[in-house]
Amino acid sequence: MAGELVLVTGGTGFIGAHCIVQLLQKGYTVRTTVRALSRADDVRKMVRQGGVEPGERLTFAQADLTSDAGWAEAVQGCAYVLHVASPFPPAIPKHEDELIVPARDGALRVLKAARDAGVKRVVLTSSFAAIGYGQKPQKTPYNETNWTDPNGDDVRAYVKSKTIAERAAWDFIAREGGALELSVVNPVGVLGPVLAPDFSTSILLVQRLMDGAMPGAPRLYFGIVDVRDVAGLHIECMTNPAAKGERFLALSGDFMSIQQIAKVLKARMGAAAAKAPTAEFPDWLVRIAAMRDEAVKQILPELGKRKNGTNEKARRLLGWNFISPEDATVATAESLLKLGLLKDGKKAA
C-alpha cells in the first residue's frame, strides 16, 4: 500500500538504488541502510539520476551486515524489507569466509530484526549463483527447483556465499520465522542503467568491452537481466500473495555469449562501440590473462560451459514481462556513456 514504510538494505548498491527509485515512484516511504551516514548524499544523487527527487520520503539508518548494532532501529515501523545488501568484490577474497560469514549472518540479522519488529514480508536478493553451480552439466534450463551444491568443484567463494545465505534464510523462516513471510529473487548477471560511477561488478563487462580492454571475447555464457526488472520484481514479490514462500529466477531470456553481447553493442551503439571485440578469445589466452587479473581468475571455471535458465515461473505466477537482454545491454552502455565512465566517451550534455 502506497505510503507504507519499506526498508531497503544496501541503498548505495546498484540494485538497492533502483529499488529505492521505484518504491518512491510508487508512493512508498523508504528507509535505507548505509554502513556510514556520510554515504547518504551518494544515495540521493543516484535516486535523482534515476529520475526521482527523494525529498523527505527517503531516510537513512546506519547498519552493517557484520554487526547487530542498528538493525532493530532500521526495521522499526517498516511494513516490508528488501534485503539487497551483500558483498560482491571484484577480486577473490583471501578466505571464503570473508564473503560467506557477512552474507549468511547478515541475512539472519535482517530476518530476526524484521520478525521481532512485526514486518509482513522480507524479499531477499539471492542470485543464480544459488541455483546453477556445483552440479553435473544439464541440457535443460535451470529453474527455481535447482540448488547449487556448495561443495562442487566449480564453486567459488561468492557462489558459495549466496547459496549458504539463501539456505540459511529459508531455514530460519521454517524454524523460527513466526508470522514473517519470505520471498527470494535470484538474478543472473544484472545490467541496465548505471546511476553512479560506483557500479556493480557485472557492469564491468560492458565497460571493458566498450573501452576495448578485452582484445577478444572469452568463451563465456551467462544470463542477463535488466536492473529495472530486478527492482520491479522485488516490489512485486513484496506485496503479491503468489510470491509468499517462493523464489524467482530473474532472467531476461536465453543465456548469451560475450561474443554475442559485443555484437549487440557494435550493432546498436555504432562508433561508441568501435573497440568492442567480436573475435573469440582462445581459452589458453584467458588462462594467461588470469595470472595477472583477479577478475579474470574468477571466471575460469565457467570457460566454455553452456548453461541456460528459464523465467517461466516469474511470467506465470507474477505476470512479469522482462526487458530483452539486448535492450538491457544497450541501456548499460548508454548510461556509461552519459555519465562519462568510458575511456574515450564524452559525457553527454
Which of the residues are catalytic? Answer: 162
Q: Amino acid identity of 170?
A: W
DSSP states of 74-135 as a string? HHTT-SEEEE------SS--SSTHHHHHHHHHHHHHHHHHHHHHT-SEEEEE--GGGTSSSS
Angle between helices 203-211 and 258-269 (to 10 degrees): 60
Round to whole Å and give the CA distance between 341 and 87: 23
3-state secondary structure 17-47: HHHHHHHHHCCCEEEEEECCHHHHHHHHHHH
SS3 324: coil
The position carrying cell 530476518 is: 111
d(CA 260, CA 222): 11
Say whether 185 sits in a helix, a strand or coil.
strand
Q: How far apart are alpha carbons 259 and 193 in whole angstroms?
A: 21
